[in-house]
Amino acid sequence: MPVLEHVWLGRMAYGDAWAVQRRLAAARALGEIPDTLLLVEHPPAYTMGRTGSMEHLPFGVERLVSLGAEYVEVDRGGSVTFHGPGQLVAYPILGIAGVFPLAGQPGLGDVLAHLRALEEALIATVALHGVVAERRPPYTGIWVGREKLAAIGVKLASGVTTHGAALNVCTDLEWFAQVIPCGISDAGVCSLASLGVTQLPTVEETGGRFAAAFARVIGRELRPAGESVLSLASSPAVVSAATPTAA
């Protein structure tokens, strides 16, 4: 079975983790590393995607920075979202054609299939805690009623995926009140904690469970990251392989 390597980056500034993604994506495009899943928790940061609008920042960038958050314009799809403590962020670095081949188009991959796989793995992960989440077309992510529990935004370049999914475990939801999350004005945001999950896992534990679920969904054998991945991911932060929990 093809392999998916995974690594827990710990708490890492958004910009540093983005640099790690770019290094790994370049190596994956050259076939120097296998498909890899980065798992991380960020200090407070707001990111604005390619299809975002300043209208989704009703209080302006200065307000966000004054609260102690980083603000970064990024190359993923989607609009503005928040990353911060208590949130699991997962970045799959996949050679997408090998995981989701596009029918009748050799060498190309199906980005929509990648999005659906992220959603399926997220739904399976939160189900372990008794939370029933679902999709809400035409939006991405997973939802409980009209509240988004996990957001998704990805990029595909040179046949390799970057960016990914953010799942609120025990995130302070007041951070989301400063923006119009994902540009959706008629929706709220929730977390496992706000939904009443009492035996909350740590963000790292949640990462292990998501890794196991995502590997199963895409038909990969999950393994801790090897030296080729760790050497690229180890700067600027010290990293360790996450221990997956059966999902």
DSSP secondary structure letter of residue 178 = G
Looking at residue 164, its amino acid is: G
Determine whether 182 is an active site residue. yes
Which DSSP string corresponds to 44-77?
SEEEE-TT--GGG-TTHHHHHHHTT-EEEE-SSS
Catalytic residue among 182, 203, 225, 242: 182
- Residue whose entry in the numeric block shows the structure tokens 């475990």: 169
Which DSSP string corresponds to 207-240?
HHHHHHHHHHHHT-EEEE--HHHHHHHSSSS--B
- Cβ 246 vs Cβ 212: under 8 Å: yes
Q: Give 158's contacts (C-beta < 8 A, 6+ positions apart).
A: 25, 29
As annotated, the active-site residues are: 182
